[in-house]
Amino acid sequence: MARDILFSGIQPSGQLNIGHYLGAMKNWVRLQQDFDCLFSLVNLHAITQRQEPAELKKRSLDFVALYIACGIKPEQSVIFTQSDVPEHSELMWLLSCHTYMGELERMTQFKDKTAKNTDNINLGLLAYPVLMAADILLYQTKAVPVGNDQKQHLELTRDLATRMNNRYGDIFTLPEPYIPSVEAGGRIMSLLEPEKKMSKSDENAGNYIALLDSPDVIRKKLKKAVTDTDSEIRYDREHKAGVSNLLTLLSGATGKSISTLEADYVGKGYGHLKVDTGEAIVALLEPIQTEFARLRNDETELNVILKSGADKARAQARNTLEKVKTAMGLL
């Protein structure tokens, strides 16, 4: 029997960090058992911000190698580059004509990005969630594992699918988001400014732990992580954002629950928590980094994986696109 479809993607911008891993990729790996999965490198999303072409190309291959090093199995799941499947852009246009300006203008990420990139407020930034909806709906996706910051985009995707289905008949599967709770890693916060999300485009590298940071760099970054003036190791996002984030990271890296960790650290200081969290992340990332180095050495193989992934994705994408065009009366 055919299994339900799972789709997710990451933009090849900045550096992949522990937030992406705990918020999204860890679930990708786990859910491969239960779904037919497509994992895309969503490079058309990345160009909503200025990219240096040579750097984008190199980084894209880094990300693909990291997908695999983290546990995505190319012989089982489809790994592909968004720009290799032009049906994404085509479906986006069809969806655009059914998306209201007001819906896009109120998106939090659009507001954040336009506030940050005042010299490049382009149409793509506004249309971004429509392309994301096209990515998902194109494959009749049932499950979308993402971090908490993508919730609003997923809600818009579901609204668009419902709107189109009501107008044209059942053309799209209604996708369900898979978002870990904040405690379980759905929203990993910045190390130095724990009130804001850990972000791959942060100018200060001290704010995030890149999946490719060396063990020493990881240990140093954690030592500098901001905590508070109190000394109690307790999970409380509102009043103890930094300590709570460290507990989430340690829990994500070791698999121990937050309450077990709180009990383990009674009477211990923040220094202990930082050192242990650093060591746990080093241990988590070590095998990933070793595997990355091996895979990244063979660009030909990575390109073969991407080519085969794009062929498989296109075959599925064409079916949906034909269905939508026919339903809409496009000859």
Instruction: Tell me, yes or no, if 26 is annotated catalytic.
Output: no
10 binding ligand TYM? (CB under 6 A): yes
CA dist., res. 184 & res. 248, Å (int): 6
Smallest distance from ligand TYM to CB 208, Å: 8
Interaction pattern, residues 30-69, with ligand TYM; x per rule: CB under 6 A: ------------x--x------------------------
What does the DSSP 8-state code read for residue 190? P
23 binding ligand TYM? (CB under 6 A): yes
Specify the DSSP element, H or E, that contains 163: helix 151-168
Instruction: Tell me, yes or no, if 113 is annotated catalytic.
Output: yes
Smallest distance from ligand TYM to CB 263, Å: 25
Whichever of 24 and 250 has its CB closer to ligand TYM, that residue is: 24
Smallest distance from ligand TYM to CB 313, Å: 13
CA dist., res. 194 & res. 209, Å (int): 13
Structure tokens belonging to residue 5:
């479809």
160 binding ligand TYM? (CB under 6 A): no
54 φ/ψ angles, rounded to the nearest 5 degrees? -65, -40
Of the candidate residues 144, 233, 241, 243, the single one contacting ligand TYM (CB under 6 A)? 144
Catalytic residue from among 197, 221, 240, 274:
197
Closest by alpha carbon to 176, among 153, 143, 152, 154?
A: 143
4 binding ligand TYM? (CB under 6 A): no
CA angle 189, 190, 193 (to 5 degrees): 115
Instruction: Tell me, yes or no, if 142 is annotated catalytic.
Output: no
Of the candidate residues 20, 59, 142, 296, the single one contacting ligand TYM (CB under 6 A)? 20
DSSP states of 73-132: -TTTSEEEEGGG-THHHHHHHHHHTT--HHHHHT-HHHHHHHHH-TT---HHHHHHHHHH
142 binding ligand TYM? (CB under 6 A): no
Interacting residues toward ligand TYM by CB under 6 A:
7-11, 19-20, 23-24, 42, 45, 132, 135-136, 144, 146-147, 149-150, 153, 186-188, 197-198
